């Protein structure tokens, strides 16, 4: 995946082929957002999910530039605190910066990122609202807010934010697989289908992209037509993704997908990572083929390992919540 990707979650980890995993979209540099905010580009790395494979590497923080203001110093100190896992100190400094300059969009952007890191989604959205109010062309704030809306199950709002981001950054449209997933959950399956077809032009060996395209087509035209239209993938090195592709193609069983996770006797953390993806895509497969019981079984299994699997872990959590709501609603009916 390109700039927006965090599938695989462990940006410092390795593919089974030895190729490095793509950098997570969920490590946001303020140097990306700053031009849109009209401010000095101070580098800001705020990991929202997982720092690295070892969890021991500090976030990268640039030096404070000459002529920095008092608020610049506060924001810099907050970034240093965050990089040292001092979340409370970072938040206190962000609050001081907002109090000192309540019309500075950078202050809200930083605090919004801190709230994201803490999984306080409503608060993050509120701060990104302020960034956008103060600087309507702050493209990264729309992207971040779209992700946060997704985490809360607000899929229509998520798609709208991603669309605004792409209006401001049209060169990113083909990269934006997250938008396709949001479209799927929003029930806009045609838009999702088109997004995954577009993403295929820049990411030709990703089984996940093929599967989400399948899921959209299945909702539009049925499983058999989705299988006939399944995007061909030849060389996704991530285990067990090629067996997942075979499953959706009708060439493998769920048991074969699960067995593939144990290929080459991986260490425990890699095995857990593989099992997460197997469980997630088995749940989605059973949903597409109409097996509600096994959908629930495997989506909830995926949730058990969701915390270590980035945005796709959030997809599992959101999906599980939808299943819970549906069951609650069903049980409440007379």
Pair 46, 117: CB distance under 8 Å: yes
154: Cβ–Cβ under 8 A, 6 or more apart, which residues?
none
Average pLDDT, the chain: 85
What is the CB-side half-sphere exposure of residue 2 using CA atoms within 13 A?
13
Delimit the domains of the chain by residue range.
1-154, 205-334
DSSP for 244-269, written as a single string: HHHHHHTSS-HHHHHHHTTTT---HH
Q: Look at residue 63 in the predicted model and tell me its pLDDT.
A: 74
Give the residue ranges of the chain where pLDDT is below 70.
1-62, 327-334
Q: Can you give the pLDDT at residue 334?
A: 52
Tens of pLDDT, residues 139-181: 999 999 999 999 999 999 999 999 999 999 999 999 999 999 9
As a residue count, the chain comes to: 334
Residue with tokens 């592709």: 245
CB of 15 within 8 A of CB of 238?
Answer: yes
Please tell me the predicted confidence (pLDDT) of residue 20: 28
Residue 310 contacts residue 49 (beta carbons within 8 Å): yes
pLDDT computed for residue 3 by the predictor = 36
What burial class does residue 123 get, using C-beta atoms within 10 Å of its C-beta: 0-12 exposed, 13-18 middle, 19+ buried?
middle
DSSP state letter for 43: -
Helix then strand then coil, % of the chain, to nearest 5: 65, 0, 35
Q: Considering only CA atoms, which of 75, 68, 59 is closest in space to residue 26?
A: 59
Cα 155 to Cα 27, 43, 306: the distances in Å are 22, 30, 19
pLDDT at 58: 43
Distance CA 161, CA 136 (A): 12
CATH code 3.40.50.300 for 1-154: no
**What is the C-alpha to C-alpha distance for residues 32 and 125, in angstroms, rounded to an integer?**
19
């Amino acid at each position: 995946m390109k700039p927006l990707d965090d599938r695989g979650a462990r940006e410092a980890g390795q593919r089974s082929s030895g190729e490095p995993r793509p950098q997570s979209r969920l490590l946001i540099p303020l140097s990306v957002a700053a031009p849109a905010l009209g401010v000095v580009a101070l580098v800001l790395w705020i990991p929202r999910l997982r720092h690295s494979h070892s969890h021991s590497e500090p976030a990268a923080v640039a030096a404070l530039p000459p002529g920095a203001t008092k608020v610049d110093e506060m924001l810099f100190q907050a970034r240093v605190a965050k990089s040292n896992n001092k979340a409370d100190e970072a938040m206190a400094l962000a609050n001081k910066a907002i109090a000192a300059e309540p019309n500075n969009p950078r202050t809200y952007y930083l605090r919004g990122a801190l709230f994201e890191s803490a999984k306080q989604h409503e608060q993050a959205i509120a701060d990104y609202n302020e960034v956008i109010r103060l600087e309507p062309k702050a493209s990264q704030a729309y992207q971040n807010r779209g992700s946060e809306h997704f985490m809360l199950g607000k899929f229509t709002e998520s798609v709208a934010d991603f669309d605004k981001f792409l209006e401001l950054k049209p060169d990113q449209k083909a990269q934006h697989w997250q938008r396709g997933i949001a479209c799927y959950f929003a029930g806009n399956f045609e838009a999702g289908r088109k997004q995954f077809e577009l993403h295929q032009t820049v990411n030709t060996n990703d089984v996940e992209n093929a599967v989400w395209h399948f899921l959209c087509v299945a909702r539009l035209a049925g499983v058999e037509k989705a299988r006939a239209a399944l995007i061909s993938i030849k060389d996704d090195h991530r285990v067990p993704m090629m067996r997942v592709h075979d499953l959706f193609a009708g060439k493998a069983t769920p048991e074969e997908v699960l067995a593939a996770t144990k290929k080459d006797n991986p260490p425990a953390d890699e095995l857990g990572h593989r099992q997460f993806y197997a469980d997630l895509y088995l749940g989605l497969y059973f949903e597409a083929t109409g097996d509600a019981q096994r959908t629930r079984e495997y989506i909830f299994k995926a949730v058990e390992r969701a915390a270590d699997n980035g945005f796709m872990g959030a997809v599992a959590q959101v999906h599980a919540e939808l299943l819970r709501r549906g069951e609650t609603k069903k049980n409440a009916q007379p």
